[in-house]
Amino acid sequence: MSKYPEVLVAAALGLLAATSSAGAQDAAAGEKVFARCKACHAVGEGAANRVGPHLNGVVGRAAGAIEGYKYSPAMTEKAGEGLVWDEPSLTRYLENPRGFLKGTKMAFAGLKKPQEIADIIAYLATFAEDGSQKAAQADPAGDDGGRDAAGAAETDTAEAAGEAEEEPSQAGADAAPRADEPTASSVASGSDGLKFGLGREATDDEVAAWDIDIRPDGKGLPEGRGTVGEGMIVYDQQCASCHGDFGEAIGRWPVLAGGQGTLRDERPEKTIGSYWPYLSTVYDYVRRAMPFGDARSLSDDEVYALTAYLLYLNDIVGDEEFELSRENFTSIDLPNEQNFIDDDRASEAHYADRSEPCMSDCKEGAPEITMHAAVLDVTPEDSDEKESRGGGID
Amino acid sequence: MTKVPMARPSSRRAFLKGGLAGAAAVAASAGAARAGGETVITEVQDWARYPGDGVDARPYGRPSPFEAHVVRKNVPWLTSDTISSVNFTPLHELDGIITPNGLCFERHHAGIAELDPAAYRLMVHGLVEKPLVFTLADLKRFPRENRIYFLECAANSGMEWRGAQLNGCQFTHGMVHCVMYTGVRLRHILEEAGVRPDGKWLLAEGADASAMTRSIPMEKALDDCMVAFAMNGEALRPEQGYPARLVVPGWEGNMWVKWLRRLEVGDQPWHHREETSKYTDLLASGKARRFTWVMDVKSVITSPSPQAPIRHGKGRMVLTGLAWSGNGRIERVDVSLDGGRNWKTARIDGPSLPMALHRFYYEFDWDGSDLYLQSRAIDEKGLVQPTKDQLRAARGPNSIYHNNGIQTWHVDKEGVVENVEIS
């Protein structure tokens, strides 16, 4: 997989020497830290690229070396200069990604605790290039082999489950009648008044696998529950790296909390608490699409807990013990629900007035420029981190 | 090797630097022509002497290398990651009404899903007589239709609400494209499952990692929506939802769910993220409009425009642009050279189809003075494209979506064009 196998072997040896001499890195603890990378990176058997490249064998790997992954120009440039991921370079990158590598597209604020960095590197060093674990040698603590293996197994099953979920149609096709050859029953149903006799009946399991939507009246909510406190733990591990510890957002990732009372301001801040009309949308969206890069990986209880925590971050519930469940879900209203109105564009003066538009001498005086384009050159190469003063794309 | 006397500057910056020199070159070559003649004519060119590539050298043909600058582009600082981002159609380089497949703007929420057509399934369920699953092959056995429609993102021109922002119609107006779709009526698919009388809404969902969903009123679903599997005669591009997407003519692009996998019939709308947090239009009053589906009457001059300055000096010139409306056909397009003081009706050329792009031209002699170019479209319902000031007066500056205001391009005496707002 790596384009530079020899670099890899040499550097890996270097690292092993380093770890055994330091002796304080804990791969098992590093596995917990990895929860903060998981939204974007996979590691282990069958790990694929996500938002970021897979990290199998990354310790000792040349930077920017995963074929088929599209690195930032900054990373590609560094790779060209021969950067290899060893303990010192990883430490500096993980401490402050953008400080170490200006222009990297890893949107991660960095790990602040040196111990966490040492641990995550020890953990990543346990994975060979093919994703298999070389736990025995690489675990300096020595007595954690068992825990490590268990951890790896867990990662694998999660991965497998994720994959199964992504392709329910194939799984369904095995169990259910083949859709591309109309069966006797679908032909028969054609004569039941269906016009073309195409398709086959969906099984209950198939509908259940795909039907994940939730409505404001609670239709679609699964069985389950979760508290604010439980939500905070999941949030800190899986959401805070993009959305910020308090939902305030890192960089340009979406803001999730705050902004109450700003909708009439010059710069309104639209969040769950200040703008969204229905709580059901939070549950529905987090379950279907988050964490970004690892959709559909959360359990129903985790989504209840996260939804409860997002209510807490938005000051809609104040109690850390608060538990959200299917039973009490629809009793919670979001503050801005009443402020949505139907489309009334047709009543605006310029549309309501159907007179013929003016063709000559429509305005007094010569035109004067009141504003120039704010961004003179929008070509990709010179627009790093410019502030937009207009609206966003959505 | 011979040299083409006036190489075409490849970027606006190059043009700005080389502008005057370029004008001088025009004069010089005109003079030279009387004396000896242009070498491109007087000398035998390589392409006229040596044969080129044979057939099969380019099994899937590509544009000339001289057109390599005609590509989609994004504005990186708009979004945090290209996986959930947008790039823009290079409108300033295109003509006619059909957008080439590889140039149709992209908007993804979780990147481009790469679907194996053999693993493609479309499920219809909810308030239906019988929930059904279709393969792609099944879909292609319904009666097929070919329709040309524009698709515009509701956020097109969204960056321009507070005033002139991005310098190029690719960026101000490039979240629109227009292709011919081949597909089947959504109505046929729904009727195959049998919509129950209380089925008033439809939820469409995509198969990508954002599992995009939108609620669509049943009336529209049964009227003119399609499930399309081809664009401009070939299979959909992965960026456009291969192997099948929803077509919702005249309505905002976000509803045209790509990689369409599921249609659920219900009795109420779902109020999902893309119709609450996003795609709702905040007004100055603090109220927000929702379900603003129709794309309003709109037009833009694509050339001249900031990325397509006037390079030929004064004299005869062709102004061209695009107009469209979610309400139907475009009835008329007017053009102003003096910032809206006086208007002339432009010439629409090519097919005039409902909810499709229309191409207009206005030919005139440029005297080399400053121009304040504007275009104003009027659709078959009689709706007139408003000014940006009218829109801001009605809605305030924070609506983001549905900015169909009249665009002004300022052309200076050198032919350089800039996005401006004027009095």
Any chain A CB within 8 A of the CB of B64? Answer: no
Q: What are phi and psi of A230, to 5 degrees?
A: -65, -40
Residue type, A270: K
Task: For residues B305 and B272, state if they share a domain.
Answer: no
Out of B274, B289, B304, pick the residue that ends a domain: B289
Residues of chain B numbered 350-379 and touching chain A (CB < 8 Å): 372, 376, 378
Q: Is residue B43 in a domain? A: no
Query: Do B242 and B362 share a domain, yes or no?
Result: no
Tell me whether residue B237 is in a domain. Answer: yes
- Are residues B323 and B415 located together in one domain of the fold? yes
**Contact, B299 vs B412, CB < 8 A?**
no
In eight-state DSSP terms, residue B305 is B
Q: Is residue B304 part of a domain?
A: yes
Number of CB atoms found within 10 A of residue A151's CB: 22
For residue B254, being part of any structural domain is answered with yes
> pLDDT tens, A255-297?
999 999 999 999 999 999 999 999 999 999 999 999 999 999 9
Between the alpha carbon of residue A260 and those of residues A172, A246, B272, B411, the distances in Å are 45, 14, 21, 44
Do B201 and B113 meet the contact criterion of CB atoms below 8 Å apart? Answer: no
Indicate whether B383 and B305 sit together in one domain.
yes
The DSSP output letter for B43 is S
Query: What tokens does B75 get?
Result: 């504005």
- B280 and B326 in a single domain? The answer is no
DSSP calls for B79-114? SSBTTBEEEE--GGG--SSPPPGGGS--EESS----
What single-letter amino acid sits at B161? W
ipTM: 0.89
Over residues A24-53, the mean pLDDT reads 85
* pLDDT at res. A377: 64
Tokens encoding A260: 């109450």
Average model confidence (pLDDT) across chain A: 79
* 3-state SS, residue B256: coil
The partner residues of B107 in beta bridges, in order of sequence, read: B86
Q: How many interface pairs between A and B have CB atoms less than 8 angstroms apart?
A: 326
Label residue B321 exposed, middle or buried (CB < 10 Å: 0-12, 13-18, 19+).
Answer: buried
Is B26 an 8 Å CB contact of chain A? no
Residue B150 lies in a domain: yes
Cα dihedral sign, A133-A135-A140-A141: positive
**Which SS3 state, helix, strand or coil, does residue A131 take?**
coil
Per the CB < 8 Å rule, is B288 touching A341? yes
Q: Which tokens hold the place of A235?
A: 């949030």
- Expressed as residue numbers, the domain containing B193 is 101-162+176-289
From residue B349, give the alpha-carbon distance in Å to each of A198, B96, B346, B362.
41, 8, 10, 11
Indicate the residue of A210, A275, A383 with minimum beta-carbon distance to B76: A383
Q: What pLDDT, on a 0 to 100 scale, did the predictor assign at position A249?
A: 95
Specify whether the CB–CB gap between B103 and B110 falls below 8 A: no
Test B73 with A380 for CB contact under 8 angstroms: yes
C-alpha B401/C-alpha B282 separation (Å) is 9
pLDDT (0 to 100) of residue B342: 98
Phi, psi of B216, rounded to the nearest 5 degrees: -125, 130
Q: Domain for residue B29, yes or no?
A: no
CA–CA distance, B171 with A377 (Å, rounded to integer):
11
d(CA A208, CA A165): 12
- Nearest chain B CA: its distance from A275 CA (Å): 7
- Where does residue B7 rank: exposed (0-12), middle (13-18), buried (19+ CB within 10 A)? exposed
Shortest distance between the Cα of A279 and any Cα of chain B, in A, equals 10
**Over the stretch B362-391, which tens digit does the pLDDT of each residue have?**
999 999 999 999 999 999 999 999 999 999
Q: Chain A closest CA to B227's CA: distance in Å?
A: 15
Encode pLDDT of B274-328 as tens digits: 999 999 999 999 999 999 999 999 999 999 999 999 999 999 999 999 999 999 9
Cβ atoms within 10 Å, residue B3: 8
Are B284 and B374 part of one and the same domain? Answer: no
Please report, in angstroms and rounded to a whole number, the separation of the first and last CA atoms in chain B. Answer: 52
What's chain B's average pLDDT? 92
Pairing of strands B213-217, B417-422: unpaired
Interstrand relation of B417-422 and A369-372 (parallel, antiparallel or unpaired): antiparallel
Domain shared by B400 and B320, yes or no: yes
* B138, B283: one domain: yes
Among partner residues A202, A354, A393, which is closest to B79 by beta-carbon distance?
A393
Is the Cβ pair B80, A213 closer than 8 Å?
no
- For B81, the closest chain A residue by CA position comes to A105
Mean pLDDT for A191-205 is 81
Q: Which among A66, A121, A119, A54 is positioned nearest to A89, based on CA atoms? A: A121
Report the distance separating Cα B297 and Cα B405, nearest Å. 9
B230 has a pLDDT exceeding 80? yes
Does the beta carbon of B211 lie under 8 angstroms from any beta carbon of chain A? yes
Domain boundary among B289, B308, B330: B289
CATH number reported for the structural domain that contains residue B243 in this entry = 3.90.420.10
- Asked if A350's CB is within 8 angstroms of B343's CB, the reply is no
CATH code of B348's domain = 2.60.40.650
Nearest residue to B13 via CA among A372, A379, A385, A371: A379
Give the DSSP H or E segment for A74.
Answer: helix A73-80
d(Cα A278, Cα A221) in Å, to the nearest integer?
14
* pLDDT above 70 coverage of chain B, percent: 92
The predicted-structure confidence for A347-370, as pLDDT tens digits, reads as follows 999 999 888 999 999 999 999 999
- Judge if B203 and B309 occupy the same domain: no
| B134, B252: one domain | yes
CB within 8 Å: B81 and A105: yes
pLDDT of residue A48: 86
| pLDDT tens-digit map of B43-85 | 999 999 999 999 999 999 999 999 999 999 998 877 777 888 8
Q: Identify whether B47 is part of a domain.
A: no
CB atoms within 10 A of CB B330: 28
pTM score above 0.90: no
Is the model's pLDDT at A170 over the cut of 80? no
Kindly state whether residues B279 and B134 are assigned to the same domain. yes
Q: Which two tokens stand for residue A183?
A: 């069966």
Spatial CA neighbour of A297 closest among A288, A305, A306: A288
Rounded to whole angstroms, the Cα distance separating B16 from A391 reads 28
If you measure CA to CA, which chain A residue comes closest to B174?
A393
pLDDT at B30 over 80: no
**Residue A31 identity:** E
Residue after which a domain boundary falls, among B289, B320, B348: B289
Closest by CA to A54, choosing from A166, A140, A130, is A130
Give start and end residues of each alpha helix (H) in B371-420: 388-395
Compare B178 and A114 and report the one with higher pLDDT.
Answer: B178
State the Cα angle at B301 between B295 and B304, rounded to 5°. 155
d(CA B238, CA B111): 10
B121 at A interface, C-beta within 8 A: yes
Other Cβ atoms closer than 10 A to B141: 15
What per-residue confidence (pLDDT) applies to B83?
85
Cα–Cα distance between B227 and B237 in angstroms, integer?
15
Question: What is the mean pLDDT of the segment spanning A172-199?
Answer: 47
A257-270 b/e (C-beta count within 10 Å ≥ 16 → b): bbbbebbeeeebbb
**Is B46 contained in some domain?**
no
Give the chain A residue nearest B287 (alpha carbons). Answer: A339
Which segments of B224-361 does DSSP mark as H helices, in order?
Answer: none
Using DSSP's 3-state secondary structure scheme, residue B84 falls into strand
Out of A109-118, A219-228, B2-11, B356-365, least confident range:
B2-11
Residues B245 and B308 in one domain: no
Q: What sign has the CA pseudo-torsion A331, A336, A339, A345?
A: negative
C-alpha A154, offset from chain centre: 20
Nearest C-alpha in B relative to A208: B125
CB atoms within 10 A of CB B51: 6
Q: What is the pLDDT of residue B279?
A: 98
User: Kindly report the CA angle at A150 between A145 and A153, in degrees rounded to 5?
Assistant: 130
> Each residue of B350-365: pLDDT tens digit?
999 999 999 999 999 9
Domain count, chain B: 2
Tell me which chain A residues have a C-beta less than 8 angstroms from the C-beta of B400: 391-392, 394
Query: pLDDT digits over B231-255, tens only?
Result: 999 999 999 999 999 999 999 999 9
Q: CA A128, CA A121: separation in Å to the nearest integer?
A: 13
Of B133, B153, B342, the CB nearest to A361: B342
